[in-house]
Structure 1
Amino acid sequence: MSIQVTEMGRLAIRDLDSGQLLAEHPLATGNGQLVQNTNHKRDRTKGIAAYIQTVAEAFPDPTAASPFLNEIYNRKPRYIRDQLQLIQRALEPAEPDAVTKALGYCIKHRLYRATDFADAVEHYKRPRPPEIPSEAPLKLLSDQDQSKRKVKPQIREFDAYKAILTGGQR
């Protein structure tokens, strides 16, 4: 480890071999003052695994949700807590059927972001439009009066359209 004081008056702790910044703290102003970030003591990976498990259990099928959530973690490890929170918010008001369809859609289309999942849940929560009966009679153009098919629209000068669009009349 290497310890340096930066130009900004901060203490920088780096790995000697790689030069990677391990921690940065403000300099202690008092005699014997301990400056420490609590994150250095915490095993953050254990918390994430438990959080992923908790969110997976909120799905109708946790065994299908776990690989999906783990893939999000693999792709966005830095933002996994935010991703999981957004997924939890999307799950709370949703029906199990909408959640299952949204999860299937995201997996099928390789959409591994919380916003994509939340959008899919919203889509599947919406009521479906009524289906048009298949027995609706169709009227073919060949069955229509032939004289209607030969009608030509009125042709106007461009200035007529320009006058209408600018608020004038022609």
Structure 2
Amino acid sequence: MPIGTYKHGETNKVRISRIDDEMLRIINANGEVIAEHKIDHQKGKLIQDTSHRRDRSKGIDAYIQTVATYFGNVAQATAYLEEIRSLYPRYTRDHLQVIADVAKSSEGKHLNQALDMCINEKLYAGHDFRDVWTYMHREYEKTKPTDTTEKEPSSNVSSDYDQYQPTTRNVDEYIGILEGGLYP
């Protein structure tokens, strides 16, 4: 089903009709056709149109404004997203979706730096933004300060394993093996 057709807390009913055993048509309660698919007779195959993954509940202008609010400098982000729109008018929604997914998953970390780098390097595409953000996030993870202080062993260690003792061998056995002797 296309994104935006399911409404939580509401009655979601559709009608499915077959057309000449070749097509399926899915119609909502208002009588609008929301999807048409060629019938595929293979089992377990996902039948999905790429447009079903796109959120069509908002217009492009509103979507640009929504995505821009994820950034610290909304005006700069809006200008960046409008440039993407001018370069890729047919696929603007797809690029915005990629950037929105990154923004949602990033919890705001490195978004503004990735935006600055994309503008400076003239990288105007959703996948370019995602790649720059991923690179910046990885670099941060590599250089992130870690706690290097050694901790004392906890005295609260469970006594469930105190009854077990690892087996130990005499070092002479290992020396004998290294000198070419046979394992006893």
TMscore range, shorter length: 0.3 to 0.5
TM-score (norm 1): 0.47
Structure with bigger gyration radius:
1
Structure showing the higher helix proportion among its residues? 1
